[in-house]
């Protein structure tokens, strides 16, 4: 039987992010320990994240094929961002914030289909290198929870996401392109 969370009390809690500890007070259920975040706590967490050193939020050993990498570096030239990590971050951001959240389930399906067609081809498998790049705090947290749900490492989750976004870009999926441009313009 699931808990009805009848008795709520305030408790001190901690949350680990990239080896740093966020300490906070939250409403928790006295019976099952479930934790409830309100907008103020979300904001407090956001402020804390923004204060952490940027080089904390690195993702390492992300396997990226030569063609996937080239898709993003070509795209970074196209949008006038010299640094390809801008585009890699934007791609993760768009996938985690928009695509994976199922805002448009048809898009998830379309991308999975495109990705399935490319499986085993040189586009995804040739010249695979392990790369590292920086995320920001928010993106790090989003990728971490996505990876946890998918029962994968953060590196593996990032690699799978980037492969999908690259395939969508290669196939000129306009919605994905538009979302990427929107995020890049804002960053």
Segment near Zn ion (CB under 5 A), from 21-29, 42-50, 136-144, 155-163? Answer: 21-29
Instruction: Return d(Cα 46, Cα 79) in angstroms, integer.
Output: 28
- Beta carbons of 24 and 44 less than 8 angstroms apart: yes
Q: Out of 25, 31, 36, 77, which residue is the one contacting Zn ion (CB under 5 A)?
A: 31
Distance in Å, CB of 4 to Zn ion, minimum: 7
List alpha helices for 95-173, DSSP H. 105-118, 122-125, 137-149, 154-170
Q: Which residues pair with 21 in a beta bridge?
A: 16
Q: Out of 25, 32, 126, 150, which residue is the one contacting Zn ion (CB under 5 A)?
A: 32
Q: Which 34-73 residues touch Zn ion, going by CB under 5 A?
A: 34
Q: Out of 8, 11, 29, 41, which residue is the one contacting Zn ion (CB under 5 A)?
A: 29
- Beta carbons of 164 and 108 less than 8 angstroms apart: no
* 30 belongs to the binding site for Zn ion (CB under 5 A): no
State both tokens at 7: 């008795």
Pick 29 or 108: Cβ nearer Zn ion: 29
DSSP three-state, residue 120: coil
* 128 belongs to the binding site for Zn ion (CB under 5 A): no
Binding site for Zn ion (CB under 5 A): 3, 5, 29, 31-32, 34
């Amino acid at each position: 039987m699931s808990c009805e969370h009848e008795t709520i009390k305030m408790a001190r809690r901690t949350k680990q992010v990239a080896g740093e500890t966020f300490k906070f007070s939250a409403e928790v259920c006295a019976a099952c320990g479930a934790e409830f975040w309100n907008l103020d706590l979300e904001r407090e967490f956001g402020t804390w994240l923004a204060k952490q050193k940027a080089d904390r939020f690195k993702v390492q050993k992300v396997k990226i094929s030569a063609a996937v990498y080239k898709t993003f570096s070509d795209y970074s030239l196209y949008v006038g961002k010299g640094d390809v990590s801008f585009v890699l971050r934007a791609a993760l951001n768009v996938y985690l914030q928009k695509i994976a959240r199922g805002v448009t389930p048809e898009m998830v399906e379309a991308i999975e289909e495109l990705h399935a067609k490319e499986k085993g081809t040189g586009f995804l498998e040739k010249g695979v290198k392990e790369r590292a790049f920086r995320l920001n705090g928010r993106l790090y947290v989003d990728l971490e929870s996505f990876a946890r749900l998918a029962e994968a490492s953060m590196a593996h989750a990032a690699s799978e996401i980037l492969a999908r976004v690259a395939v969508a870009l290669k196939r000129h999926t306009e919605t994905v392109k538009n979302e990427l441009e929107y995020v890049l313009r804002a960053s």
